[in-house]
Amino acid sequence: MKRIMRFAAAAAALLCCAVSCGSRTVSTDNVSATLKMHSNRTAEDVSKEMEGDWETTSSTINGEPCDFVRDKFTFTDNGNGTFYDKEGGLHQITWHITESGGITITYVETDETTAPYELSNEVLTLTEDTDEGVRETCISKTKSPEKDKDDKEN
């Protein structure tokens, strides 16, 4: 009988311990996470998707629309391209695929390189922290070489 009582007491103690451990809230104030993206697309796939004419189509700060310059770009499949400034001036750019599958653009004249854009469904999205908040800028494809070729044939 003593053995059964000790067993019951031990089981009750373990049950209380398990219940009390699971009911405490734990602070997540100092917890951070990092996400590293890897693309399953080949460089050739990305190059084909990048080739064509693109333009800035939206920009938001903390999810709210904000003013932006409607920049225009032409990307070729060999990592080169052109950028048209707001006055229509033509400038040389290069682009390359990062290890994580993002796309960076380098403006040749100034040697300025952007943070990586995420490429998804013919939209390049750049998310960056600014003094105003989190800014998200989207550059969308306006014309691809295949579409242009099909339009000329019809």
Contact between 53 and 143 under an 8 Å Cβ cutoff? The reply is: yes
Predicted local distance difference test score (pLDDT) of residue 34: 52
Contact between 107 and 28 under an 8 Å Cβ cutoff? The reply is: no
pLDDT greater than 70 at residue 4: no
Both structure tokens of 76: 């070729």
Contact between 9 and 2 under an 8 Å Cβ cutoff? The reply is: no
> Is this prediction's pTM over 0.85?
no
Q: How far is CA 150 from CA 45, 53, 116, 147, in A?
A: 20, 15, 31, 5
Rg (C-alpha) for the chain, rounded Å, is 27
Both structure tokens of 27: 């602070």
Both structure tokens of 33: 């996470």
- Tell me the average pLDDT across 29-53: 72
